[in-house]
Amino acid sequence: MTRTDTPPAWDERTQLTTFLDYTRATAVAKCDGLTQENAVRAPLPGSPLMTLAGIVNHLRWVEYYWFEVVFLGGEDEGPWTDEDPDREMRIAVDMPLADVLKEYEEQSARYRELVAAHDLNASAQRERVGGRRPDLRWIILHLIEETARHNGHIDIIRETVDGTTGG
């Protein structure tokens, strides 16, 4: 993924997709040089699921949910269960970080194609809270917000586990 927040054109679609790609690439870049041991460390005492691998895996599955389940109306085959709603974060500690990052980047490429093939005004197939169906534009904006928010968590955890800052 190229990491830039400057879109090559100033139309709405290009701006939205550039920022989504930028936040995705930032999450991946923050994991550069990270050891497997530090990728699965949960340094915040009150947040045992907050590992770098867990957050990236969470981002992967959040995109899956919004694009595949809500927007396209597919069956929810995510790793979570009613008994373990945060399972995507828990299972990441048993995965090589390289696999987590690869799956996230491969999925991002697929969703780039999905977004390119649909109108921003296209409504989701599934209703959300209040019986409303968000449009693709809102889903992209939500994913930018979600990814950017978790990039802040990634910053804090990365600095805590090995002192790496910046980027």
Tens-digit pLDDT profile for residues 89-139: 999 999 999 999 999 999 999 999 999 999 999 999 999 878 899 999 999
Half-sphere exposure of 30 (CA within 13 A, CB side): 29
Rounded Cα distance between 41 and 38, Å, is 5
Rounded Cα distance between 89 and 91, Å, is 6
What 3-state DSSP class applies to 58?
helix
Q: How much of the chain exceeds pLDDT 70, in percent?
A: 99
pLDDT of residue 87: 97
Closest alpha carbon to 126 in 62, 70, 67, 54: 70
Domain boundaries, the chain: 12-162
Three-state secondary structure readout of 88-147: HHHHHHHCCHHHHHHHHHHHHHHHHHHHHCCCCCCECCCCCHHHCCCEHHHHHHHHHHHH
Q: Which residue has the tokens 């930018």?
A: 144
Mean pLDDT of all residues in 44-62 = 96
The average confidence (pLDDT) of the chain is: 96
Q: For domain 12-162, which CATH number applies: 3.40.50.720, 1.20.120.450, 3.40.50.300, 3.30.1360.120?
A: 1.20.120.450
Confidence of residue 38 (pLDDT cuts 50, 70, 90): very high
pLDDT of residue 1: 58
Count CB-CB contacts under 10 A for residue 111: 22
Count CB-CB contacts under 10 A for residue 134: 18
